[in-house]
Structures are given as C-alpha cells and as structure tokens.
A and B are shown apart, each in its own frame.
Chain A
C-alpha cells in the first residue's frame, strides 16, 4: 500500500530555512507528481507547489516563488521541500501529497509541524 512518511517537527528562527522530507513507498515514485500543501494553525489548506519526480520539473504558487525549492532523490524515493527566509506566519503543518494527472491528491503524508519563533 501507498505510504508517505515525512520528517519530524522543526523549530526555526525568523530568517532561517527549513527542509522537509517525504519518503514514498508502495508505488512507483517517478510515476506521480508530489505536491506540497501547508496549513497554518486553525486555518485552511494552502497549495504551495508540486514536483514531477521523473523530470524534476516544478510548479510553484506565485506567493512562494523565490522562497520555495522542491527537489527529489529518486534513488531513495524521497521528495523535499525547502522554504527559506522564514517568517512567523510560515508556522504551519506542511504536508506532502501524491498527485494524479487530474490534480487530485490521493495520498497524504502525516504532516510536519514547522514552528518559526525567535
């Protein structure tokens, strides 16, 4: 069965960077997009972007352009999301999710809490 397992919680200072990993298993990693979605405390879901693990091509939401980098290591079926110049309003749970060709996200990781605080 499909599993997406994310790295553990992080606490960062404003201005720092964070890198969250997402290890996939149970399917062909290069056959599906990997999306990243975040959710601030008590708030809704916010789409950040996606990566094609086969080609490395990325699409980022405009509001994260210049601050987010999504990469992958196909040898270990792992996707990464790097967010730089962190601010307090970046405090959120960050999810990876497998995406199909029709843009639905059918499997999700357990989430990684990133706390930005001085």
Chain B
C-alpha cells in the first residue's frame, strides 16, 4: 500500500502562511472526507490537528485549517510561530479491506 504523497519540507517566516499538500488517489482522498492531519514534535507522540478534512478538535488554534480538492488535501498554517515547527502527517481512510488506513510521507515544517 503506497503512502499518501507530501512534500518533504515546507518553510516560512514568522507571521506568514504555509500550505502542505497531501496527494492520494480517487480511491482514498478523492472518495472519502476522512482525511486527518497530525503534528509531531521530535521525540513526542503525534497530535491530532484536523479531522474529517476541515474540522478542528476542541481547543485547537484556528491558525490551522484543512481543505480538499479532488485527490489532494491541504493543511494551511497561518500566522507562523516558532512552536509550529514540527513534522506533519496526513492520513486517509481508503475503504480497502487489506489496508483501510494510510498515512502520508510526512512534511518537515521550518519557521525561518
């Protein structure tokens, strides 16, 4: 099962906005609105940031937003601050019995 495709790295200056893409296929991202995004700081467990493409868990900053177009989902982080520097992973339900859930390849976000 192939992982969803993400850029290896994205960077931006404090205060700017960045967008991370997550490309799947018409069988996963393109069909199901079950895309999630996770933030992972070094040595820590992942943290859910976005679920069902656009929804934010309670208490999460509205500087994080999600969207989807066709087979590609996106995470936008606005008003960049140092604490958002981390790895980000997307994921999607695939509907396949043999591999119903897949993660993206991961993106390192750097705040310049």
Contacts and interface: CB of A to CB of B under 8 A. Distances in A.
B45 A59 contact: no
A44 B52 contact: no
Nearest to A101: B34
A109 B45 contact: yes
Contacts of A29: none
Interface string A28-58: 0000000101000000111100100000000
B87 to A, nearest CB: 8
A95 interface: yes
Nearest to A100: B51
Given A44-B106, A45-B106, A61-B1, A106 B48 contact: yes
Contacts of B105: 44
Pick the most buried of A104, A107, A108: most chain B CB atoms within 10 A of its CB: A104
B51 A62 contact: no
Contacts of A75: none
Nearest to A43: B106
Interface string B68-109: 000000000000000000000101010001111111111000
Given A100-B51, A110-B45, 13 more contacts: A45-B89, A45-B91, A45-B106, A47-B91, A61-B101, A103-B101, A104-B48, A104-B51, A105-B36, A105-B38, A105-B46, A106-B57, A108-B46
Question: Sorted from nearest, which 10 A-B pairs have the closest CB atoms?
Answer: A104-B51, A62-B98, A108-B45, A104-B36, A45-B103, A44-B106, A103-B93, A47-B101, A106-B48, A103-B34
Interface of B: 1, 3, 34, 36, 38, 40, 45-48, 51-52, 57, 89, 91, 93, 97-106
